[in-house]
A and B are shown apart, each in its own frame.
Chain A
Amino acid sequence: MSGEKKEKTIKRLKAMYPLRSLVDKMYERAVEYNEEGKPTAWCMVNWWGADAVLRTMDIAAVYPEDYGAVCAAFGTAQAFLDRCNSDGFPDHLCGYARNGIGYASRMKELGGIPPEAPMSGMPKPTLLLCSGYFCDTRYKWFQSLGRYLDAPVWLLEMPHPGVRESLSGDGTQKHIIEFMVKELREFIAFLEHLVGKKMDWDKLDEVVNDLIEMNRVWHEVNELRKAKPCPMHSRDFWSCMPASLYVAEDPGKTAVLYRNLYDEVKEKIDKKEAAIPEEKYRLAFAELPPWHSLGFFDKLAERGWNFVVESWSYHPPKPTDLSKISNPLERIARHTYRHFAGFFEEAYKNGEHLGYFGYPYLDYVKEYECDALVAHPLLTCRTATNHLAYVQDRLMKVLKVPTIVIEGDIVDLKHFNPEEALRRAEAFEEVIEHYREVRKKG
């Protein structure tokens, strides 16, 4: 056996590393805050609806959803999952949630961060912030943590209009934004009381602008990936996305790192460099990857599979000019709503009803010229799974683009079989070739 480390097939971007490391700092910051008696929050990913507010109020946030992936990667999730189940929660619930409940249960038993907790662990929170965005778990999970934690639990709402209703009513969009702004005001009133200090509105204004700019640059980076060959693989996307999704660091500083990433990707495009040795197939990926088996993508890269775009839900919103809106809360609301409904007009024009989770895949596959979709249903994540069969059907019916389904889970290793998946991928190449011909013939 050679002592040499085999070089990975996927060429990682250098500018990715500083972005990726921001998440480690996010956990460290929360532990430091806790030790200093400063407020900390366990948050659900809220698609920037609350992050600017928390950062301005100097509340350190951690994301138990992300921590589920961390525990999976470090191999400590199983004990937390088992603990959750023995506490009476059904085993079909979200793997991240069961990990988080098991962690909180253990934390209650010990009175502090469990010694087996990876990275710095999540400190006892001052606040539990749920999000109404997307899935039921993301508010029911934190509600159930009352058994173990005495932090108040707050829900930040997110409207979910249908495509047609959102565009056809004369005042629907106005009501949506008004609703979100009112919810944010109430949230701020709650926080001011909780942490005993007033909102600095000038600072919030600045943070919101930085956040919008950060996401604009991050969006531009992803636009570059339409290039053929594509120099940025989904592996790099997943490494870079938490910096935006969790607002893991001051967004002004993060924007600089995304600009560096933009420059590197642009340079590679100019040099016609791909992320893999030979880009034979361009793929889209849905939804969350098997965090515990990411080396699988290197194996596919050896076969010429380049993943050029992935789940819409982790992408930043399409940029829109919000500079004329003076109220920072309205800018937050419009920015977050833009993420949710950014594809609605196009979906409506094309007669598609699932404007998020559905139509974005049609758009991406067309725009990024993908040959196929790799769908990764997750056994314990309804949200990442319930639309995949539908997407598969729409892609085939509308674009004649095939999908390969590879089952797995975000936390539980045993549901993903990389060897079998590779064998199936090899056979699937014939299907890709077939549909290339079908599309050519029109």
Chain B
Amino acid sequence: MTKRGNTGLAKVKEIYEDRSFYAKQLKAEDKKIIGYLCIYTPLEILTALDIVPYRLFGNMREPITNADAYFPTLVCPFLRSILDLGLKGKYDFLDGSVMPHVCEVGEKLAHIWRTYIDLPYSFYIDTPHSKSEAALEYHKEWLNEFKKSLESLTGKELSTESLKQATKAHNEQRALVRRLYELRKTEPPLISGAETLQVMKALMSIPVKEGNELLQEVISEVKERREGPKGGTRLLLWGSNIDDIAIIEIMEEFGANVVMDDLCVGSRFYFPDVDMTEDPLDGLARRYLLDLKCPRTFIGAAVGDTKRDYPKDLERRFGYLHKYAEEWNVKGAILYNLRFCDIHGFEAPLVKDYFDRYGLRSMYLEHDYSESSLAPLRTRIQGFLELLT
């Protein structure tokens, strides 16, 4: 399933550069392709019904024109770009879309999208904001509704066994991604940050089984190759959506190695597994509500709390980041945010506080999701890296 019969990283690059090509090929083979938004869609349900999950991305290299009529310029440029591509017909090959409540603007996108983009199927999942037991039960009900809607679309009944098999396949992919990330712990890392992002994006464009084969090829290739990244300042990249390698390439051109990330096109998407529960929806509901670590999900007080201890609060929310920083031996962190992303905007100063507690330097970087605005970021990145060396 490639244009030129490539394998490993060459195949990754090929998919990254023309990701819809493969989806269209699958479509020609009578496969159903469903586009999904962000990280809260339980892909296992799609896979179990032989539907290919295809992540919706924007294109920061293409000016937003058509979406202006429905989405103002002061909302998330990434989501605007997705709508723009949809309005331009670039997602016409999809059989449908599923959009969870990933954020307020994402929620609006779901409804505006189905008003103007005529796909045979669309579903919206009301993912709760919090992690209470009641929220978990509610979330499971929504996953069940989603499952029923897909059964109706495909005319097939989804068996527990099929869902378990699909869950295993996706967990296998997660394990392989974690293995790939292990290869970034070495000095120098065996795979660059930009290459890793390409792998992530390729995986989000093809069926899980093919993705797993691709990952195995990539892992073998990366372990064996001699011309990998050179040593440099080891960085952790935290933030909102990054779906283009340009920003990471700037960091790596200036001699940094982006060795770890907390990004939704990265570890945030792949690291937590789904528990293999008797009713697979239980495991899915838990994983997609409780275990994903996007700041869109609220962590606050519990019954019995009468005060808030800020350092403990930070530890509870961001403890995993210190672990990442230690295990991947990072020297600094870049806190990347898309302009107008409120969720990450409120979170970034607190993440900075958290890193400060451990003496890890960090820098906040805001980007408007356009190619033209990368230039001023170069100077800031360069300055930050000089500070770290």
| A interface residues (Cβ-Cβ under 8 A, vs B) | 87-90, 92-94, 97, 130, 132, 134-137, 139-141, 143-144, 146-147, 149-155, 157, 159-165, 169, 171-172, 175-176, 178-179, 182-183, 186, 189-190, 193-194, 352-355, 357-358, 377, 379, 382-383, 385-390, 393-394
Contacts and interface: CB of A to CB of B under 8 A. Distances in A.
B114 A353 contact: yes
B88 interface: no
B298 A387 contact: no
Interface string B98-131: 0001011101101110110000000110101110
Contacts of A92: 74, 339-340, 345
A377 B298 contact: no
Given A152-B301, A386-B71, A172 B103 contact: no
Contacts of B340: 92, 382
A56 B308 CA distance: 24
Q: Among B68, B110, B111, B133, which residue has the most Cβ atoms of chain A within 10 A? A: B111
Contacts of B71: 386, 389-390
B349 A186 contact: no
Contact of B303 (A146, A147, A186, A353): A186
Q: Among B103, B110, B130, B307, which residue has the most Cβ atoms of chain A within 10 A? A: B130
A387 B112 CA distance: 9
B343 A162 contact: no
Contacts of B342: 93-94, 135-137, 140, 382
Interface in B285-342: 295-296, 298-310, 313-314, 337, 339-340, 342
A382 B104 contact: yes
Contacts of A394: 115
A141 B346 contact: yes
Interface string B368-387: 00000000000000000000
Contact of B310 (A93, A147, A159, A387): A147
A406 to B, nearest CB: 13
A141 B295 CA distance: 12
A165 B70 contact: no
Interface string B56-74: 0000000000001111101
Interface string B132-153: 1111011001000100100000
B75 interface: yes
A182 B366 CA distance: 39
8 contacts: A137-B346, A165-B145, A169-B145, A182-B134, A353-B115, A354-B108, A390-B112, A394-B115
A97 B350 CA distance: 15
A154 B132 contact: no
A300 B302 CA distance: 50
Contacts of B128: 132, 157, 159, 179
B141 A383 contact: no
Contacts of B296: 136
B18 interface: no
Interchain residue pairs A-B with the least CB separation, the first 8:
A182-B134, A152-B301, A140-B346, A162-B124, A88-B349, A179-B138, A354-B111, A353-B111
A171 B108 CA distance: 24
B364 interface: yes
B298 A143 contact: yes
A385 B298 contact: no
B209 interface: no
Given A143-B300, A152-B300, 11 more contacts: A90-B337, A90-B348, A146-B350, A147-B310, A150-B307, A153-B300, A165-B123, A169-B145, A171-B141, A176-B138, A390-B70
A88 B298 contact: no
Contacts of B302: 190
Contacts of A389: 68-72
B27 interface: no
A151 B108 CA distance: 32
Nearest to B346: A140
Contact of B72 (A135, A159, A388): A388
A393 B137 CA distance: 37
Nearest to B110: A162
Given A377-B72, A382-B104, A152 B124 contact: no
B130 to A, nearest CB: 5
Contacts of A385: 72, 74-75
B353 interface: yes
Given A89-B346, A382-B340, A130 B298 contact: yes
Given A89-B345, A152-B305, A147 B350 contact: yes
B132 A159 contact: no
A57 to B, nearest CB: 14
Nearest to A138: B104
B99 to A, nearest CB: 9
Given A150-B309, A179-B137, A377-B74, A130 B300 contact: yes
B268 interface: no
A152 B303 CA distance: 10
B308 A93 contact: no
A176 B306 CA distance: 29
B75 A382 contact: yes
B303 A160 contact: no
A153 B350 CA distance: 15
Contacts of B112: 353-354, 387, 390
A358 B130 contact: no
B352 interface: yes
Q: Among B110, B129, B309, which residue has the most Cβ atoms of chain A within 10 A? A: B129
B298 A139 contact: yes
Contacts of B111: 162-163, 353-355, 358
Contact of B347 (A140, A160, A383): A140
Given A186-B303, A354-B108, A140 B308 contact: no
B35 to A, nearest CB: 16
B305 A88 contact: no
A393 B141 CA distance: 34
Nearest to B139: A179
A111 to B, nearest CB: 16
B14 to A, nearest CB: 36
Contacts of B148: 169
B132 to A, nearest CB: 6
B237 to A, nearest CB: 18
Contacts of B348: 88, 90
Nearest to B305: A152
Contact of A393 (B69, B105, B133, B299): B69
A214 to B, nearest CB: 28
A154 B301 contact: yes
B130 A132 contact: yes
Nearest to A93: B345
B7 to A, nearest CB: 42
